[in-house]
Structure 1
């Protein structure tokens, strides 16, 4: 076998190895799973539990079949605003039914509205409950808990400017009330109060609790995205994956695996999904405890805020207020809540390790989208701005490449003279670089700077809800999803769908955007000096087409960015090289390559 065939086999093997590694590290996105899928048939214990105010055993479990029946039969209060709809169950006063009107589970006609919270007995049961943990002079039956039957005492339907009030009398002199209000986005305010009509002082600790039954069914499990619990405690952000909570140490005060932070003065805790989150935010208290717990027997996860115990004198009333964010992780809304006093709330969005890049990149992309009105063109505008910022560095790089291109014939001469003596070839090339004052590594720096920018933009496109279902033009109606075109639907001219992004067919029948990406990379490569090593030449020749297939199942927005980046880079490089006296002959390079290959075949 001659050296050329060996190099071809090696280049092919390396190319497929790159593809394999890439798809292991960056697997294609899974298709959307409806959030209101049918409930599982197997019963699961709710294990409602009671939040202890001091070290004590949690409450007893309640079977899910019984809880589901009671929840379904309990009276409900409707929630209705321009952005959310749902209801509150008077059993426990649970906020357990919430839908986000502005979002659909998919772009299919008639697709269901995204469901944020679900009651016990439904798939992915997920809800917020509030109550009081008993202190001195009280037992568990004297305070309201997750299964207390409340009465609607004020209001009718919960809406913006229309709060509702629930009440419960324990029959022993204590009247508990809970006022619930909601703003025009996703923030609920819950004021819990207790009036002591008895003759002796009592003590109780208010709490808020988010409960999720099992891991979410639409869990992505993608390393670039955090899903699970998220908490802020006095400026320290903590992200806990779902599988980390069961592995936590058993806390004696909670009687189960728990991650507890005591004495928090400012903070919040809750659960975060890809695009949605629910967060408990205590307000107006000097300090509170927050905890993440897991009940192994019932597979129930909880995020809890436990406020300081309140002393309620005879004839007195004590009230505390907390907030609940339950909705989409919209940057503008979350930023407004942070400005209103929720410390570090913008960090509930998963900005990643490169937050110092992802935050400004998203801000710029967001502002460009507001200005242009189209996220696809905003991505192209963002690319132009990034390239403009890097112009001084790019100029030096492309000047160096122009000189390297001019030296190509002399490097070929050195290669012929050196023959198989690689050391002699390297020495000759170093002398040539030194004589002509050329730095062969100068072209690498812009590429190195592009890597963190590329991954930061990938993070922004994948994580932020503003890119979800964001249209560009024609068939490209979701920049967070892979290219929907392929030869199967004549690149969007026919109505039938492209192959499933998770299938091997999607790797073969790629869309028009990846094809444009491959062509733009190939054209850009024609301006760069070719490596002297034949194997490296062959690998570089394969790379545009390898990347074309690798990025076939990536988010369309990312491919749009890379195409725009390649086109702008090609234009910059071409103009700069011409300004240095080198006139790239692209047509000659292309046809010359074909002629050279034909000559080699004839020679054989």
Structure 2
């Protein structure tokens, strides 16, 4: 077995082993069905265990009423929300933001598909909403401060829109007046200002808070190891991610069924929940100290995050206010970047960049900017491939020059084999002396392939987690580069007007689409730049390798397969031209024909 073929087999086999091993060792988790929340809602959805957390420097948390609230919520008046990006409403019961959908995103590619809904009111099986209020301190009863079921009145505004804020007001009947002003920008950011005027005759100790409450896990939970879904937050520059199932491992509160974890934030931070493409986040003003809390109620299957601000001492005749922000929307890179530049620390880290963040971040930045110029994500991926290959060209050049020199040394290597006979040690020593004399690195041939492994994984991560690839069209039947190839031999690779097998199914894996087929052919042609090895074992490995990769990668996102096809095509061209420039002329046609015969055809110089 000559060293060139050894290196090529080793590098390719290593690539295959890493990819296959990754999926065998870390398979996608099967989604667990979320328990129904209907019974929770009917037996007191707003009970005390999930009120804002107590802390040594906080007043005692308010205890919301335990009576059912579903009927009240269903009949409550609402304020409409209508912006260029959002549509929904705010319930005047609790002043809760609990009905919100994204105008620019649909559930599927179908024209009549509903738009994506992010927040849903209590009473819905997958309720998810934002609540704001004040925790009552010593001397105040829970009913003296606004909570989840407070019936607010509209003081100003009719519809919440950009440049049209609304103000809610509530009088506790004991000399304290609370207001809540809500505004929203053109994207996904709400600004909530909570204020209180104290005319009660005594100093009031109260702590403002905001919380996000989710009843059960999301309906569309992916539960995929490469993707983070669950609690996400930043505390003074430190990112924390906790999956939904891991929230059940939080320290247990012996007083109830709640498990929680609290982090003290000194100056900058935020906390919330992230899904595949959507996120809801509580964001206190930069420079504000607060308690970041994540909770899970085992009994009621409720997940909650809180931002509990420091206690306000409001003297009689005085007033106090605090402003926080709430992000509810799509994790668009450019939008998050703009919010981060405006002062929200590490907001771009809400996108799950993964272990190879030092590669995924610049790769996506480059892909995004190419797409800004081209306007088509498929061609942008091809453009990205060209740039990556250009950056790696010096390494590829050395590798292919080394491979060409290895071919030139074949007669001398064969003479060494004949001279050494069965003495393998003598054979190895002679070959090492030959490599040193001719300045050839036998390991150089596998370096370009090895370099592709982290790049491949990083691009896979980028295509999988970034919303910019979601429903991104290429051409013809390829209208979602984040999904597997929709074509199949069943619909003549997209020429016939009906769908192929369900993506991800066994039939879709067997009856592959045109992109996986092109991937296999491109790998096979690249292989044919060199003559088939004489060893039968090597011949078998080489014969099967392109087609194994073809079926294995066929169920990957079509954008990733486009990258791999482009990469193989460029690699083939580079290798062919460089080897010819070194005086070695690959006999491509001869090697292809020899693959159909028993004896491999010798290359011509």
> Residues of 2 paired with 1:487 and 1:290: CA distance?
53
Equivalent in the alignment of 2:24: 24
1:229 positional shift: 0.7
1:83 positional shift: 0.9
Corresponding residue to 1:199 among 198, 201, 215? 201
Matches for 1:106-145 after TM superposition, within 5 Å: 106-145=108-147
Equivalent in the alignment of 1:452: 454
2:190 paired with 1:185? no
CA contact (8 A) 1:404 1:529 kept: no
Equivalent in the alignment of 1:6: none
SS of residue matched to 2:329? strand
Equivalent in the alignment of 1:167: 169
Decide which moves more: 355-364 or 417-426: 417-426
Q: Deviations over 1:233-285 (max 9, x none)?
A: 00111111111111111257997311101243100000000000001000165
Q: Deviations over 1:560-603 (max 9, x none)?
A: 1011111111111111101100011100111123234499xxxx
Question: Normalized against structure 2, the TM-score is what?
Answer: 0.90
Equivalent in the alignment of 1:7: none
1:289 positional shift: 0.7
Equivalent in the alignment of 1:149: 151
> Residues of 1 paired with 2:89 and 2:233: CA distance?
26
1:388 positional shift: 0.6
CA contact (8 A) 1:30 1:502 kept: no
Question: Normalized against structure 1, the TM-score is what?
Answer: 0.90
2:390 paired with 1:372? no
Equivalent in the alignment of 1:51: 52
Q: Deviations over 1:276-333 (max 9, x none)?
A: 0001000165311110011111110111000011111111111100000000000111
Equivalent in the alignment of 2:354: 352
> Residues of 2 paired with 1:14 and 1:262: CA distance?
45
Corresponding residue to 1:261 among 254, 260, 263? 263
> Residues of 1 paired with 2:223 and 2:103: CA distance?
26
1:403 positional shift: 1.7
Q: Deviations over 1:310-367 (max 9, x none)?
A: 1111111111000000000001111111111111111111111111111111111000
Kindly tell me: are residues 409 and 520 of structure 1, through their superposed partners in 2, closer, same or farther at Cα, counting changes over 3 Å? farther
Corresponding residue to 2:582 among 580, 583, 600? 580
> Residues of 1 paired with 2:408 and 2:159: CA distance?
77
Equivalent in the alignment of 1:494: 496
Kindly tell me: are residues 155 and 253 of structure 1, through their superposed partners in 2, closer, same or farther at Cα, counting changes over 3 Å? farther
SS of residue matched to 1:480? coil
Kindly tell me: are residues 91 and 412 of structure 1, through their superposed partners in 2, closer, same or farther at Cα, counting changes over 3 Å? farther
> Residues of 2 paired with 1:290 and 1:117: CA distance?
21
1:401 positional shift: 1.1
Q: Deviations over 1:44-78 (max 9, x none)?
A: 56344322454657746857xx3332211111111
1:532 positional shift: 6.6
Matches for 1:524-543 after TM superposition, within 5 Å: 524-528=526-530, 533-543=535-545
CA contact (8 A) 2:144 2:172 kept: yes
CA contact (8 A) 1:380 1:564 kept: yes
SS of residue matched to 2:270? strand
> Residues of 2 paired with 1:263 and 1:597: CA distance?
71
Equivalent in the alignment of 2:568: 566
> Residues of 1 paired with 2:511 and 2:423: CA distance?
44
* Structure 2: stretches of 5+ with no match in the other structure: 1-12
SS of residue matched to 1:477? coil
CA contact (8 A) 1:246 1:294 kept: yes
SS of residue matched to 1:582? coil
2:39 paired with 1:71? no
1:446 positional shift: 1.8
Aligned-residue RMSD, C-alpha: 2.9
1:404 positional shift: 2.1
Decide which moves more: 13-22 or 189-198: 13-22
Equivalent in the alignment of 1:9: none
Matches for 1:265-304 after TM superposition, within 5 Å: 265-283=267-285, 286-304=288-306
1:535 positional shift: 2.1
SS of residue matched to 1:250? coil
2:481 paired with 1:479? yes
> Residues of 2 paired with 1:267 and 1:525: CA distance?
52
SS of residue matched to 1:176? strand
1:507 positional shift: 1.3
> Residues of 1 paired with 2:62 and 2:180: CA distance?
23
Decide which moves more: 343-352 or 54-63: 54-63
Equivalent in the alignment of 2:8: none
Equivalent in the alignment of 2:319: 317
Aligned length: 581
SS of residue matched to 2:597? helix
Kindly tell me: are residues 96 and 493 of structure 1, through their superposed partners in 2, closer, same or farther at Cα, counting changes over 3 Å? same
2:256 paired with 1:247? no
2:94 paired with 1:88? no
Equivalent in the alignment of 1:233: 235
> Residues of 2 paired with 1:118 and 1:83: CA distance?
17
> Residues of 1 paired with 2:55 and 2:35: CA distance?
39
* Structure 1: stretches of 5+ with no match in the other structure: 1-12, 32-36, 600-604
CA contact (8 A) 1:53 1:205 kept: no
> Residues of 1 paired with 2:416 and 2:47: CA distance?
79
